[in-house]
Amino acid sequence: MTFQQTDLNDLKKAKMLLENTGIATKITNLFGIPIEKGFELLPDNWNRKIGEVTQAALSKAAHAAVFTMKDAPGEEASNIWHKIAVAMTGGIGGFFGLPALAVELPISTTIMLRSIADIARSEGETISMIASKIACIEVFALGGPSKSDNAYESGYFAVRAALAGSVKKTAEYIAEKGLTEEGAPALVRLIIQIADRFSIQVSEKTAAQAIPAIGAAGGALINTLFIDHFQDMARGHFIVRRLERKYGKKIVKAKYETV
């Protein structure tokens, strides 16, 4: 099937968004302060703490946001309101520092996941479908490598391929058993896998907020950058999924690699 020009333009836009600069570079460019300075100010156990908080935040957000959204396919996404809400939580997090992360991150992640699902609906996803719900959570694995990735493995389709097995099992479990105690372990395993990637970007956000010169006002700006980054990832991801529904996965992947 030949790609229509409008679809080709959309695919180019998706690739530009999905393969764009990571959150750390965006933060550094905005404030002109190397993010490494923030990492030096974090306590010794920050890595483990952020990993735990990130997993908990994703789990709470999945149940509070995407699993309770209603269908409204094709409806325009309200990105600006989600940015304002996340900026407010970022200001609080920036003021209180690392101790506030366990409170701020679940709230911010829930708002971001709502925004992601909003974008998914605007690209024609039916949010009541399990595959669409899981695709929303999957966005948090995009836009940043995991600890074991090389440059190639952090590419968009490589990340999706790495998650494919867990995504399939989770969808099957939830379809069969729902979000009950029996079906929950599959979702937990998927969230742990996604959190491994998401925690890197959370670490970068936290390190930036630890720099004294940035403070509470900077925390709001950082969170605005943070949600903007994942809104971009969501837009690219759901453009690709929309085109896959039209042309098939193999055709879209082949075209993505050549544009």
pLDDT tens digits along 159-186: 999 999 999 988 888 888 776 655 567 8
**Which residue blocks in the chain are alpha helix, DSSP H?**
5-18, 23-31, 36-41, 46-64, 79-96, 101-122, 130-138, 156-177, 184-210, 215-247, 249-258
Span of 8-17, 34-43, 176-185, 235-244 with lowest mean pLDDT: 176-185
C-alpha 172/C-alpha 23 separation (Å) is 33
SS (H, E, C) 61-115: HHHHCHHHCCCCCCCCCCHHHHHHHHHHHHHHHHHHCHHHHHHHHHHHHHHHHHH
C-alpha 114, offset from chain centre = 11
Contact 18, 239 (CB under 8 A): no
Residue 24: is it exposed, middle or buried by C-beta count within 10 angstroms (0-12/13-18/19+)?
buried
C-alpha 25, offset from chain centre = 17
pLDDT bin (cut points 50, 70, 90) of residue 128 is confident
Residue 155 token pair? 């590419």
C-alpha 231/C-alpha 227 separation (Å) is 6
135-159 per-residue burial string, b: 16 or more CB within 10 A, e: under 16: bbbbbbbbbbbbeebeeeebbbeeb
pLDDT bin (cut points 50, 70, 90) of residue 238 is very high
The one-letter code for the residue type at 122 is S
C-alpha 240/C-alpha 250 separation (Å) is 11
Does the pTM of the predicted model rise above 0.75?
A: yes
DSSP state of 154: G
Mean per-residue pLDDT for 112-135?
Answer: 89
Mean per-residue pLDDT for 129-153?
Answer: 74
